[in-house]
Structure 1
Amino acid sequence: MSAQSSKVVSLSEAASTITDGCRLTLGGFAVYQKPMAFVRELVRQARKDLVIVGAAHSFDVDMLCAAGCLRRIETSYVGLEKFGLARNFRRLAESGALQIVDYPELISLDRFRADQEGLDFWPVEGLGGNDVVTFNAEIREMNCPVSGRLLHAVPAAKPDVVVIHAIAADEQGNVVIPARRLFPQSADITFSRACDRVIVTAEKIVSRSFIKRHARLVEIPSYRVSAVIEVPFGAHPTPALGRYLADEHHMGEYVEASSDDMRFAGYLERYVHSPKTHFDYLDLLGSRRLTSLQDLDSLQ
């Protein structure tokens, strides 16, 4: 493989390409396989006025809210599932400092399907009388040109950049997605097809020969990927399918710290600003903690 074909960059280099005001999609779904190492790097670099466009969010958006990185979010959900409310997000929303545009969960994914097909909108039914339409002026009423029935036109997501976390990719950006996958991995595939700039953080950079032997697992081909970064435990504290489980101890620590702004500032100092790199962050967590999270059943 020639050096010219390699798309491998550092985490800081990749994050530096995200400009203030960028329309950014973060992969994964809810509390599963979020590109958290990339999120922490955005916080370190003090990115501002980002617009998050996605489907369902948790620690990723909540952390960006606390760090003052966001101006607007277009999604269906921001919460921590069994851990409760995303309190940093809630405080910002209640203060009016964050613009929130609400879409139903499945329709939020339809927006990326519109991008994939090169359309400016996606027609949906079932929104008649729904308050989502009342409070979201970007959804337009329309009549089907064939049947005449009432539909709604939902605008395409139009992200500037998509960032996903995967279990493996090669230097050229061919991304491995498990054949036995769950919804977060399927959502990542959809996101990757909606944008010309896709950044991939991967648990491991694998060889070209590995990709050739497992070509059927390459769901995101290299021509769709702009940059790839090797970031082990890059989804921590969320889980990565087939690699490691959620770090519920750390999630609990996060939730406790998010009880108020001052306490969470301490969390950010300890886990984001003091560790200068992702590997410093892993050293802070410790090998014993990380080893205990490995999903050994899936690795066999």
Structure 2
Amino acid sequence: MTNKTMTLHDAVARLIRSGDQMAIGGFTTSRKPLAVIGEILRQGQTEFIAQGGPAGSDWDMLIGAGRVKAYINCYTANPRFSNVSRRFRAAIEEGRILFEDYSQDAAMMSFHGASLGLPYVPVKMMLGSGMEKEWGIPEEIRRTIDKLPNQKYIIQENPFQPGEKLLLMPTPRIDVAILHVQMASPDGTCRILGDPYQDVDLAFASERTIVTCDELVANEEIRRSPELNTIPGICVDAVVHLPYGGHPSQVYDCYDYDKEFYLAYDRAGKTEESFCEWLKEWVYDLPDHRAYLNKLGATRLIDLKVTTGFGYHVSTETIVGEVAAP
């Protein structure tokens, strides 16, 4: 059996390169591979062509640190904590980033098309909307960037239904995908509990895939229940055992999101100066993920552990109250 386990440092150093078209799994504040983001920032890879999908502080951190050349996205926020991620918004308002906007359903369709090896997907969403009529990245600029299609889309008549229009949306050619899962084995087999979001498509679509996991189990163990597995090992290039590798996001059935951490991140993002101070404290001054966890502290992490039967953290008072209720 192939052993694909690596340290976080080695996985990022070997598989993530400046200029990559990169995609990140998870959804806003759920199952985001944020420990990998920190390591990328420490190592210095930059000039990414970003396939944002439903993003949160993952791409917001990379944008704020000046590591993104072009951003293709449908949504960037930490719901409940920031309606629109602050460093992303500042970059758009100040004209410091190339940005193209797609609807979320269209973005998910493009990822699925990429996983099937299709050059484009025909969709109806976005037709008649501002996303059809307004381009964030003009064609003349697109032609200067190898990893971007020359056009945002092409509108064409449905060959099977004359008179019906279709929007032909190009699929991304993803160099590297970064995912965080609850469980993986050394050969790369992954088990995602709860909603897989776009992660399976990203694993199939990308040239290289890094997976971090909260629990590393033997190949034989993960095969005992093959019907529960989500991503086959053939799609994965590196497996990094990284407990709390999704913090501060929530990882279903493992730990809840860290509300106070997200609130602090939102405050820090209000200005360039405070954001740089936050990055220094929580990324650059820490040598690795272990140091990050030590800085957070055991009690804080224990308090995020999910309550069995709920899938998220619930206080003792809430549990007792529900049990006592008629």
TM-score range, shorter chain: over 0.9
**Partner amino acid, structure 1, of 2:152:** E
1:97 matched to which residue of 2?
96
Higher helix share: 1
Q: RMSD across aligned C-alpha pairs, in angstroms? A: 1.4
Q: Please tell me the residue identity of whatever aligns with 1:27.
A: G
Matched, 1:76 2:87: no
Please point out which of 211, 214, 218 is paired with 1:203: 214
Match of 2:180 in 1: 165
Partner in structure 1 of residue 8 of structure 2: 11
Q: Which runs of 5+ in 2 are unaligned?
A: 136-150, 312-326
Q: Which TM-score applies when normalising by structure 2?
A: 0.87
Superposed CA deviations along residues 265-285 of structure 1, whole A, max 9, x for unmatched, are 111111101110101000000
Give the Cα separation in 2 of the matches to 1:286 and 1:189.
Answer: 33
Q: Which moved more, 1:123-132 or 1:169-178?
A: 123-132
8 Å Cα contact 2:121-2:170 kept in structure 1: yes
What does the per-residue CA deviation read over 1:3-58, in whole Å, with 9 as the maximum and x for residues that have no partner?
A: xx110111111111211110000000122111100011111112211111132111
Q: Kindly provide the CA deviation profile for residues 161-180 of structure 1, in whole angstroms up to 9, marking residues without a partner as x.
A: 111000010111010122xx
Give CA-to-partner distance per residue, 1:191-223, whole Å, 9 cap, x none. Answer: 212223211011111112311212111110111
Deviation of 1:128 after TM superposition, in Å, equals 2.7
Deviation at 1:190, TM superposition (A): 2.1
Q: Which secondary structure does the structure 2 equivalent of 1:220 belong to? A: coil
Amino acid at match of 1:240: V
Q: Residues 162 and 199 of structure 1 are in contact (CA less than 8 Å); yes or no, is this contact kept in structure 2? A: yes
Distance in 2, Cα, partners of 1:232 & 1:223: 23
User: Where do 1:187-266 residues align within 5 Å?
Assistant: 187-266=198-277
Out of 278, 281, 288, the residue aligned to residue 299 of structure 2 is 288
How much does 1:127 deviate? 3.0
- The more displaced of 209-218 and 36-45 is 209-218
- Aligned identity (percent) is 27
Structure 1: where are the runs of 5+ without partners?
A: none
Size of the alignment, in residue pairs? 293
* Shift, 1:298, TM fit: 5.0
Higher Cα Rg, which structure:
2
Displacement after TM superposition at 1:299 (Å)? 8.7
Counterparts of 1:52-63 in structure 2 under 5 Å?
Answer: 52-63=50-61
TM-score, structure 1 normalization:
0.94
User: What is the alpha-carbon distance in structure 2 between the residues aligned to residue 260 and residue 298 of structure 1?
Assistant: 41
Give the Cα separation in 2 of the matches to 1:258 and 1:43. 16
